[in-house]
Amino acid sequence: MTDPMTDPVLDAQAIIRGRRAWPLPKQADPNAPLLVVEHLTTRFKMAGGSIKAVDDVSFTLNDGEALGIAGESGCGKTTTALSLVRLLPANGRIGKDSSVKLFGIDLAKKSEDALRRYRWREISIIFQGAMNALNPVRRINEQIAEPIELRLKADKADALKRAGELLELVGIPARRGQAYPHELSGGMRQRAMIAMALACDPAVVIGDEPTTALDVMVQAQILELLERLRRELGLSLILITHDLSVIAETCDRVMVMYAGKVAEEGAVSVIFTTPRHPYTQKLIGAFPNIHADRRTLDVIPGSPPDLREPPPGCRFHPRCPFAMAVCSVEVPPEVTFADGVRVACHLYPPGSDGLPITEPTKDALVQPADSAGPGLGAGVFGDEEFALELRGETVEPESAEHTFSPSHGLTDDRSLDDFK
Amino acid sequence: MGSRYLLRKSFGAIFTIFLIVILNFVLFRMMPGSPDRILLRNPNLTTEARTAALERWGLDKPLIPDQLVAYLQATAAGDLGYSFKFHGESVTDVLAGRIWPTLILFGLGEILAVIFGLALGAYSGWKRGGAVDYIGNGLSLVLYSMPYFVIGILLLGIFAIGLHWFPTSGMLTIGGSNTSTWDQFLDFAWHLFLPLLTVTIGLIGQYSILMRSSVIETLGEDYVTTARGKGLTSGKILRAHALPNALLPAVTLIAINLGYVIGGAITVEVVFNWPGLGTLTVQALEARDYPVLQGIFLLLSVSVVVANFGADLIYGRLDPRVRT
Amino acid sequence: MTTEVLPEAAIRNERLRLRLKSIRSFWRRFAARPDGVIGVVVLIFFSILAIAPGFFVGPLQTVITATGLPLDPPSTAHWLGTDELGRDILNLTVHGTRISMFIGLLATVITILLGAMIGIVSGYVGGRTDTFLMRVTDFFLVLPTFVLALILAPIILDIVGAGSEVFGIRVTLIVIVIVIGITSWASTARIIRSQTLSVKERAFVGRARVIGSGGGHIMWRHILPNTMNLIVANTVLVFGGAILTETTLSFIGLGDPFAPSWGEILNAAESAGAMGLGAWWYVVPPSVCIVLVVLAFTLVGSALDDVLNPRLRVRR
């Protein structure tokens, strides 16, 4: 039982909450952790049925922490983040048992009107692809000032002034605020998005692939900026990305997701050195290491499952080199080990010692003698694409049909031009 | 607004007008059996007018450059020739007499159609799937498939002839010029009602359909998600983010449409016997009154170019991306 | 040593099989759209009428062969009443189907041929040709083409001489066809050019150029098939628009009283003062036909466009 007087988490909490520009929400519990998400499930209703894009995901975020959510495209990371403030398309619903407790206040149970109060003021989002996330016909400073004016009831002049300060904070000269989004470079737009996210001094900032669309140099600058802001402002960050190097550099903890479920979660230092879940191992192994000796790229054969008909049992089992018979039958339970890592894998059942397993066990269906060795990649189109994606390079598919991404078409996509 | 944009569009408009004038010349002078040559065989012309015409048009001089230059000069000075049918009256006068009824009918009609069409479409797009949406959409589609004059005939048949609520033709009651101005105005409005309704109904369909799909598409854009994320109310999102972007294609459509609207315009005037440019066109066509036709073509074409230019200006005001 | 060579026949069969599969998948998707299906049914109905009008109502009635009293309301003898010359309106309307559809068809062919050709050439060749062609296209787009049509028609008629026949078709009709074609190709050209620009960037075009295929060959064998979807969808919409334009031109008086299209019937009705005399049966049948056919074309065109040019398709 930790002593609340000397618990480092509570200390950080006190310091950071003490720094807030305004008081906690009236319903807040001052001793509660910043954000506790439990059994979050998000469904999308589609023509043929419904898809669980996020299936029973739980995690905690403490003050001043940076949590990274990693995984392939379509694994549900963005949906998880958007579900926190229910920023879902019309056909998206959060499960009845889900709870999203911010300062102990359950946002999942709030009505849409009540929830609006928490959007941007407590939880804000830096969206991916700033060019599309910014209104093309309004000036940048107006867009940053908008939430300040409307949500914080400031007057226009004050709001614009504050917007200017925010722009300076992220490294954009205030007078550039007069520009329209298309007049700024990609990096500057992303910075503007960050400034906008900070406008109401929120408790939690979610970064949804904030550096994906940028080239490497700019990426580094943005990450540096985020780090600096974290330190200076005591920001609590949720960073969503498929790029593990970003997580390694910026985050304290990481949660690896696969096909809507949590595979593994824990401190970055632990997970990157001793990954347990086979998927995590592959993710890290697929990552080209400039210091290691040259070898072939470790790729994972196959592609992510179609969430309309997910594989039974563990969703990763069709691609898992260590799969056992039980993996196709039962969903693996989440087990937490002494070093604070949470894993959902049958290799680490409740009560096991938790030592990482890197070879197929005796129960594995595919023994080492059968395969040609771990990941001497089949070089199928899906693999190369995946491996390249991990490195942060995106591959342009030939047509929309070739890329499977469940997020396509998950919105209610009745023909937009029904009557032209 | 960027001066380069303004310059580009102005230059484009002027150049197009210039091309139109030349096209006019080509059509009416250069083609074999051209009407200006046939002119000389027209029995309606008096001897003086004939000599004057010969002299002015210099039909005995070479086509290019003499005739062309003369034509350009004459047009620039506002001299568009003389009508056959109207006994030598100048084309400019003939047109001037008919222009404002058309302007009122179509100006008002277009304005009403734009306002109601855009509003209806935006509402449909916002509240997708409601009764208003389905009915409005279906109705718009049917109206879009009807030629304007069919709508006109329908309305005429039901309300004017069937129910006797409105007059069946003309712009003013004949012989009513001794009543007060207010009465005259009412009389005019009474006559204007059905043709105006026809034009408005005919145009509304396209604007509503376009605005609906434009709003739907805009609502799917990422910046609307951002706006929702900011905790703005639905109304605010619609007004500040969705509509300003959804309006852009509408402005473009309105401009493009003007060229096509004219076709319907002419026929509606015919149905209601409205004394504007439309009925003038039909009369001139029957009489093969080429100078008048030529004048109408020039006037309408230039109007469309000017209107397009105006739309470009408005678009430049609304969308900062094109100003660079 | 034996060498395995794939016989020509096997390749052809495979190609045929794939094509049949894609056609079947197309039909399945198209049939799922009720608006498209209704449109097709309506169009088939009118096409049958257009192909053999005489089969249904006998030959086109003229002043001489008129069978009824002038402006008779609908009765058992004349289901849709008679016009001012005593001709049976049902007869006129059914024959009008053939004329309206025929003019529409020819005009559409010209429009699409011109538009697609200019669009593909402009998009593929690029450079100065493209700029020039697009300037011309834009000019035609700005022009109030209806007014242009209005003026061209009498000029051409006067030159050629109305009342004569070319290939068994009356000249007046041919003039309308040409005039609609000349004035409608511009928007098709723009659309096809956009598509050509994106098809041009695809890998197989680059490959074709590398192996030395000529521009014409590439345009015919590669660009054209890949723009065909768009062309087809556009054709249907253009057809509907052509019928609307022809109707309007005829209503104004450019039609042919001896080969009355629906627009021409309405023109005659207007001249006879049908509405004022309460002869609604004169006006309603052609109007209803016009609306039905244009609506059908619009629905089919919209459905085709959605089926052939999907925006986002999720695999499986």
**pLDDT above 80 (res A44):** yes
pLDDT computed for residue A141 by the predictor: 92
Interface membership of A182 toward B (CB under 8 Å): yes
Residues of C in contact with A400 (CB under 8 A): 312-313
pLDDT at A372: 44
Per-residue pLDDT at C194 exceeds 50: yes
Q: CB contact, 8 Å: B226 with chain A? A: yes
Is a pLDDT exceeding 80 seen at residue A163? yes
Interface residue C294 vs chain B (CB under 8 A): yes
Counting as contact any 3 or more CB pairs under 8 A, the partners of B are: A, C
Asked whether the beta carbons of residue B285 and residue C270 sit closer than 8 angstroms, the reply is no
Regarding predicted confidence, which is higher, B67 or A128? A128
> Quick one: pLDDT at residue C215?
77
Structure tokens at A329: 């039958």
Chain A neighbours (≥3 Cβ pairs under 8 A) are: B, C
CB contact residues (below 8 A), chain A span 152-181, against chain B: 180
A186-200, A315-329, B167-181, C87-101, range with the lowest pLDDT: B167-181
Residue in A closest to B321 by C-alpha: A182
Residues of chain B above pLDDT 70, percent: 81
Whole-model pTM: value is 0.77
pLDDT digits (tens, 9 = 90+) for A343-400: 999 888 888 887 887 777 777 777 765 544 343 333 333 444 444 444 444 444 433 3
Contact (CB<8Å) A119/B229: yes
A19/C17: higher pLDDT: C17
Percent residues over pLDDT 70 in chain C: 92
Residue B126: pLDDT over 80: yes
Provide, as residue numbers in chain C, all residues whose Cβ is less than 8 Å from the Cβ of B141.
295, 298-299
pLDDT score of A309 more than 50 = yes
Where do the domains of chain C lie?
82-308
- Residue with the bigger pLDDT between A133 and B87: it is A133
- Residues from chain C contacting residue A417 (CB–CB below 8 Å): 302, 305-306
ipTM above threshold 0.90 = no
Say what the pLDDT of residue A159 is. 92
pLDDT tier at B226, thresholds 50, 70, 90? very high
Closest residue in A to C300 (Cα–Cα):
A419
pLDDT number for residue C115: 93
Q: What are A265-293's pLDDT values in tens digits?
A: 999 999 988 888 989 888 887 666 666 55
Range of weakest confidence among A5-9, A193-197, B144-148: A5-9
Q: Residue A80: its pLDDT value, please?
A: 92
What 8-state DSSP symbol labels residue B64? I
pLDDT at A142: 93
Distance from the Cα of A417 to chain B's closest Cα (Å) equals 6
Predicted local distance difference test score (pLDDT) of residue B39: 60
Least confident of A73-77, A291-295, B269-273: A291-295
pLDDT at C112 over 90: yes
Residues 6+ positions from A381 with CB-CB distance below 8 Å: A402
A272 touches chain C (CB under 8 A): no
Please judge whether C306 and A406 are an interchain contact, meaning their C-beta atoms are less than 8 angstroms apart.
Answer: no
Work out whether strand A261-267 and strand A105-106 pair parallel, antiparallel, or are unpaired: unpaired
Q: Per-residue pLDDT tens for C254-269? A: 888 788 889 989 988 8
Given this model, what pLDDT does residue A179 score?
A: 92
Q: What is the pLDDT of residue C19?
A: 81
Taking 70 as the threshold, does the pLDDT of residue A296 lie above it? no
- CA dist C107 and C99 (Å) reads 12
pLDDT in tens, C265-310: 998 888 888 777 778 888 888 999 999 999 999 899 888 877 776 6
Q: What is the mean pLDDT of residues B70-93?
A: 72
Say whether pLDDT at A170 is over 50: yes
Whose tokens are 């290939």? That residue is C167
Residues B137-162: tens digit of each pLDDT: 788 888 888 888 888 888 888 888 77
Q: Residue C282's closest chain B neighbor by CA?
A: B153
- Maximum CA extent, chain B: 80
C-alpha closest to that of C117 among C208, C203, C196, C180? C196
Task: Compute how many other C-beta atoms are within 10 angstroms of the C-beta atom of residue C21.
Answer: 10
- pLDDT at C156 (0 to 100): 74
CA A370 to chain centre: 36
Put simply, whether B235 touches A (Cβ < 8 Å) is no
- Does any CB of chain A come closer than 8 Å to the CB of residue B245? yes
Find the residue in C nearest to A408 (Cα): C314
Per-residue confidence (pLDDT) for residue C187, from 0 to 100? 85
The larger pLDDT score, comparing residue C35 to residue B116, is at: B116
pLDDT of residue A398: 37
**pLDDT > 60? residue A411:** no
| pLDDT tens by residue, B287-322 | 777 778 888 888 888 888 888 888 888 888 888 888
Give contacts of A135 with chain B, Cβ < 8 Å. 223, 226-227, 241, 244-245
In three-state form (DSSP H/G/I as H, E/B as E, the rest C), the secondary structure along chain C is: CCCCCCCHHHHHHHHHHHHHHHHHHHHHHHHCCHHHHHHHHHHHHHHHHHHCHHHHHCCCCCCCCCCCCCCCCCCCCCCCCECCCCCEHHHHHHHHHHHHHHHHHHHHHHHHHHHHHHHHHHHHHCHHHHHHHHHHHHHHHHCCHHHHHHHHHHHHHHHHCCCCEECCEEHHHHHHHHHHHHHHHHHHHHHHHHHHHHHHCCHHHHHHHHCCCCHHHHHHHHHHHHHHHHHHHHHHHHHHHHHHHHHHHHHHHHCCCCCCCHHHHHHHHHHCCCCCCCCHHHHHHHHHHHHHHHHHHHHHHHHHHHHHCCCCCCCC
Which is more confidently placed, B38 or B146? Answer: B146
- The average confidence (pLDDT) of chain A is 80
A99 φ, ψ to 5°?
Answer: -140, 140
Cα C122 to Cα B145: distance, rounded to the nearest angstrom: 32
The CATH homologous superfamily for domain C82-308 is MetI-like (1.10.3720.10)
Q: Does C162 touch chain B (CB under 8 A)?
A: no
Nearest CA in chain C to A419: C302
Mean pLDDT lowest among A294-298, B89-93, B111-115: A294-298
What is the layout of strands, in order, in the sheet containing A66-70? Answer: A123-126, A204-208, A236-241, A66-70, A253-258, A261-267, A342-344, A334-336
Give per-residue pLDDT as tens, B185-203.
888 888 888 889 999 988 8
How high is the pLDDT of residue C228?
Answer: 85
With tokens 């000017």, the residue in question is B306
User: At A161, is the pLDDT very low, low, confident or very high (cuts 50, 70, 90)?
Assistant: very high
Are the beta carbons of B149 and C248 separated by less than 8 Å?
Answer: yes
The mean predicted confidence, pLDDT, of chain C is 82
Q: Check C253 against B267: CB less than 8 A apart.
A: no
Contact C312 A400 (CB under 8 A): yes
**Token duo for residue C40:** 């097709």
Which uninterrupted H or E stretch holds B95? Answer: helix B91-126
- Which of chain B's residues have a Cβ under 8 Å away from the Cβ of C141? 256, 259
**Min CA distance, B237 vs chain A (Å)?**
11
Find the range with the poorest average confidence among A28-42, B155-169, B295-309, C30-44.
B155-169
With contacts defined as CB-CB under 8 Å, which chain C residues touch A415?
Answer: 306
